């Protein structure tokens, strides 16, 4: 029996864009058997836009309206009505490409161990004069040829719900969307899913993400698109503060293959530290880094461990807190802890060099001075020599790693 797909479309005051989003769902090459449009208390013409679809039985649309309670509440209520084996959450302002469900469902059909299939996207805007779509790239997209999808997602989200198909059973396992989060509920749910189930990510473009200047976020906490970067960075930090004690260190350990278990633990601590550094939460990051260098302190970091530390400084949200005096002092203390501490400080300095180039390019003299002060205090970067140890990063985690 062919698995059925349910599309959930939460919407709020996007009547002008909603029809285009729905049309794209209806034109999928692999048909969507159920479309649930959940109107989260819109005050515009949303009900008028949806009315023609409700008169068309072939559209397969179930329209519900409730008082405004935010996207999480809308999705949780819509999920209760979903009958499909696979769930596809579609934003009301984006456009799915015709083969989106075909490509993503094929992965879940063939690989029962995979809980989540995801693809890439392009961005677009509409030219005000002609109405033509002007395409641009996805923005941040990691190098997926190395490292697990989970590691990449923990470091930075790079795909979105419109590009994601998830088994309904997986949503049932991890629980509802968090209604107490104002933002980043998609990222929160993606991490919760991917820390419980294997995921597969393809680089095929499956939807177009609309760029526009309208307000975003729930009704009680709207923000303009121009302030989006700061808003989402702070929201992501809150999400990971909540997740820190919920994701076991053993899951980070499973990202590595090592002939010495304690060095897998060291790499895991470094990796978790890198995740929090990229959230600009350097207090949590340094807590992990300090714990890591206490494990076999006489052994310098391996090349793989150095790459983790370099990535800690390379997050898309910047690393300003790294260059503050209090953080600099803690890193200097780490650098004095035998070979492991010195090599970690060197790796962080290598990442800081890249940040220095960016600050110079951006003509930010204050940041240039702060980074220079850190680099002057740390041991110079050097390529680690072979240690005779074997530590490699896995591209896929063992299935048992998810059973926690």
49-53, 230-234, 283-287: which range is least confident on average?
A: 230-234
Q: Residue 387 CB: number of other CB atoms within 10 A?
A: 14
Average pLDDT of the residues in 342-371: 91
Q: Residue 118 CB: number of other CB atoms within 10 A?
A: 25
pTM: 0.91
What are the tens digits of pLDDT across the range 167-201?
A: 999 999 999 999 999 889 999 999 999 999 999 99
Predicted confidence at residue 382, as pLDDT, reads 66
User: Which residues contact residue 88 at a Cβ distance below 8 angstroms, ignoring those fewer than 6 apart?
Assistant: 5, 6, 7, 8, 32, 100, 101, 104, 164, 165, 166
Average pLDDT of the residues in 154-172: 96
Angle at CA 334, nearest 5°, toward 151 and 385? 70
Find where tokens 């601590």 sit. 269
Mean pLDDT of all residues in the chain? 91
Q: Is the pLDDT of residue 55 over 90?
A: no
Q: Is the pLDDT of residue 253 over 70?
A: yes
Average pLDDT of the residues in 130-157: 90
Residue 138 pLDDT class (50, 70, 90 cuts): confident
Q: Is pLDDT larger for residue 264 or for residue 380?
A: 264
What are the tens digits of pLDDT across the range 203-226?
A: 999 999 998 665 545 554 554 544
User: Which residues contact residue 300 at a Cβ distance below 8 angstroms, ignoring those fewer than 6 apart?
Assistant: 339, 340, 342, 343, 384, 385, 387
Predicted confidence at residue 225, as pLDDT, reads 47
Cα 65 to chain center, whole Å? Answer: 29
What are the tens digits of pLDDT across the range 74-94?
A: 999 999 999 999 999 999 999
φ, ψ of residue 216 to 5 degrees: the values are -130, 165
Phi-psi region of 39 (alpha: psi -120 to 50; beta: other; left: phi over 0): beta
């Amino acid at each position: 029996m062919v698995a059925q797909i349910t599309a959930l479309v939460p919407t709020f005051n996007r009547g002008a864009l909603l029809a285009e989003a729905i049309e794209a769902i209806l034109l999928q090459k692999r048909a969507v058997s159920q479309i649930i449009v959940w109107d989260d208390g819109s005050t515009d013409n949303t009900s008028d836009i949806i009315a023609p679809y409700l008169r068309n039985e072939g559209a397969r649309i179930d329209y519900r309206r409730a008082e405004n309670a935010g996207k999480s509440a809308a999705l949780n209520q819509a999920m209760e009505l979903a009958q499909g084996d696979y769930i596809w959450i579609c934003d009301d302002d984006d456009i799915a490409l015709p083969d989106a469900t075909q490509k993503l469902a094929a992965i879940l059909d063939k690989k029962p161990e995979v809980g989540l299939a995801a693809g890439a996207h392009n961005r677009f805007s509409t030219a005000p004069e002609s109405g033509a779509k002007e395409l641009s790239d996805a923005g941040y997209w990691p190098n997926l040829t190395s490292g697990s999808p989970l590691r990449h997602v923990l470091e930075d989200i790079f795909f979105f719900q419109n590009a994601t198909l998830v088994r309904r059973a997986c949503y049932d396992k991890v629980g509802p969307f968090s209604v107490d989060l104002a933002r980043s509920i998609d990222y929160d749910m993606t991490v919760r899913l991917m820390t419980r189930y294997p995921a597969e990510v393809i680089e095929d473009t499956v939807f177009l993400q609309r760029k526009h200047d309208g307000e975003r976020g729930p009704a009680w906490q709207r923000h303009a698109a121009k302030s989006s970067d700061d808003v989402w960075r702070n929201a992501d930090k809150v999400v990971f503060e909540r997740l820190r004690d919920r994701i076991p260190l053993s899951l980070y350990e499973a990202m590595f293959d090592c002939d010495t278990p304690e060095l897998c633990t060291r790499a895991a601590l470094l990796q978790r530290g890198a995740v929090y550094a990229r959230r600009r939460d350097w207090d949590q990051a340094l807590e992990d880094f300090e714990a890591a260098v206490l494990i076999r302190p006489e052994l310098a970091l391996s090349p793989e461990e150095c790459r983790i530390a370099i990535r800690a400084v390379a997050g898309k949200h910047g690393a300003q807190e790294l260059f503050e005096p209090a953080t600099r002092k803690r890193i200097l203390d780490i650098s004095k802890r035998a070979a492991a501490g010195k090599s970690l400080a060197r790796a962080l300095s290598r990442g800081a060099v890249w940040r220095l180039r960016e600050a110079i390019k951006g003509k930010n003299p204050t940041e240039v001075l702060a980074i220079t002060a850190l680099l002057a205090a740390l041991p110079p970067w050097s390529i680690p020599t072979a240690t005779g140890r074997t530590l490699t990063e896995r591209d896929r985690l063992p299935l048992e790693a998810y059973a926690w």
